[in-house]
């Protein structure tokens, strides 16, 4: 109960006073209207987990926030793929934010401890240093297959567009990264059978007041929460449930919350929350990661050359 109260306080404090009284527009068939382009570029400067030294502080002080612009610099000539900690020349930049982490629950902004099974699966994740002996040694993101349902929403270095399209009984969520598209029925139909599994899972939605609630199950054994190379965040277990909430709080902002409940992987559920900002000028381009999978043999040849 205490954790729920802390999370509620964080989310309410983050809302403008006018937003709490704002009435969202409706579609012609009566649902709250979430349609539009909602990129998450602004949140690139916020880490997934809160730095430990900030403890329970969900937001920065005025003094800390004032220092942020000078702490984010453009990449220098030696930063391209150097692993120096700065984003390379292909990546986008966020805006300074008061929010100290994308994780808002647990209250310390850190992922909860892994279970024994979760620790075992995390240890099997591909790492940047190899081995790289075949496609199985690359993550689904590196193979341009999928970042997973939550991973597709979390800000990454580039291609951070989100496009929401609605029709009666269905919401479509298009993610620019890897060009994922979730077609989410909101007509009350049940999830597909347990034998049908996928990287993005099976999503079903419903309205709770003005909030679109999306519950996703039926993940496969290779679904990633965050995706990308080198992460120590393990894949979903088959019992995982992802619950997302989309609430339009003003004309230009959707409050996005997502709770991961996977007792085989983590010792308790955890939640991320951040705003999606409307940007009608944003353009989503085709995400042609690598055509005809030419990249895979090239990556394997590169690793062989490195070993020699």
Per-residue pLDDT tens digits of the chain, which is 308 residues long: 445 444 544 554 444 444 457 788 999 999 999 999 999 988 988 888 999 999 999 999 998 888 876 544 444 333 333 333 444 445 566 788 999 999 999 999 999 999 999 998 888 877 767 788 888 888 888 888 888 899 899 988 788 899 999 999 999 999 998 888 999 999 999 999 999 999 999 999 999 999 999 999 999 988 876 644 334 577 889 999 999 999 999 999 999 999 999 999 999 999 999 999 999 999 998 887 777 778 888 888 888 888 87
Question: Is 89 part of a structural domain of the chain?
Answer: no
Question: Is 196 part of a structural domain of the chain?
Answer: yes
Question: Is 104 part of a structural domain of the chain?
Answer: yes
CA gap 232, 201 in Å, rounded:
21
* β partners of residue 303: none
Residue 207 domain boundaries? 2-59+99-307
The contacts of residue 164 (CB under 8 Å, 6+ apart) are 34, 35, 36, 38, 171, 172, 173, 174, 246
- Beta pairing class for 36-37 and 253-261: unpaired
Give the CA-trace dihedral at 138, 141, 146, 151, to 10 degrees: 130
**pTM value?**
0.84
Question: Is 75 part of a structural domain of the chain?
Answer: no
Question: Is 66 part of a structural domain of the chain?
Answer: no
Of 222, 259, 223, 220, the C-alpha closest to 241 is 259
Question: Is 168 part of a structural domain of the chain?
Answer: yes
Question: Is 206 part of a structural domain of the chain?
Answer: yes
Question: Is 193 part of a structural domain of the chain?
Answer: yes
Number of domains in the chain: 1
């Amino acid at each position: 109960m205490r954790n729920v109260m802390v999370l509620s306080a964080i989310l309410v404090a983050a809302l403008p006073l006018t937003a709490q009284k704002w009435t969202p527009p409706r579609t012609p068939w009566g649902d709250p209207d979430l349609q539009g382009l909602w990129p998450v570029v602004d949140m690139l400067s916020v880490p997934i987990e809160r730095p430990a030294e900030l403890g329970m502080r969900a937001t920065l002080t005025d003094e800390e926030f004032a220092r942020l612009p000078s702490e984010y610099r453009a990449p220098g000539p030696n930063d391209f793929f150097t692993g120096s900690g700065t984003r390379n020349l292909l990546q986008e930049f966020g805006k300074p934010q008061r929010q100290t982490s994308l994780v808002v629950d647990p209250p310390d902004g850190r992922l909860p401890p892994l279970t024994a099974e979760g620790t075992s699966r995390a240890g099997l994740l591909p790492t940047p240093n190899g081995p790289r002996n075949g496609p199985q040694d690359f993550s689904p993101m590196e193979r341009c297959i999928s970042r997973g349902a939550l991973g597709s929403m979390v800000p990454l270095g580039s291609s951070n567009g989100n496009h929401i399209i609605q029709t009666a009984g269905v919401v479509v969520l298009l993610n620019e990264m890897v060009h994922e598209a979730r077609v989410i029925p909101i007509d009350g139909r049940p999830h597909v059978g347990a034998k049908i599994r996928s990287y993005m899972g099976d999503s079903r939605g419903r309205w709770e007041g003005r909030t679109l609630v999306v519950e996703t199950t039926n993940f496969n054994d290779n679904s990633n929460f965050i995706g990308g190379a080198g992460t120590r965040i393990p894949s979903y277990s088959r019992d995982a449930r992802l619950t997302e909430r989309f609430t339009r709080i003003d004309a230009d902002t959707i409050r996005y919350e997502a709770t991961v409940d996977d007792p085989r992987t983590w010792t308790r559920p955890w939640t991320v929350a951040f705003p999606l900002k409307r940007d009608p000028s944003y353009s989503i381009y085709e995400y042609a990661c690598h055509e005809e999978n030419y990249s895979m043999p090239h990556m394997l040849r590169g690793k062989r050359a490195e070993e020699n």
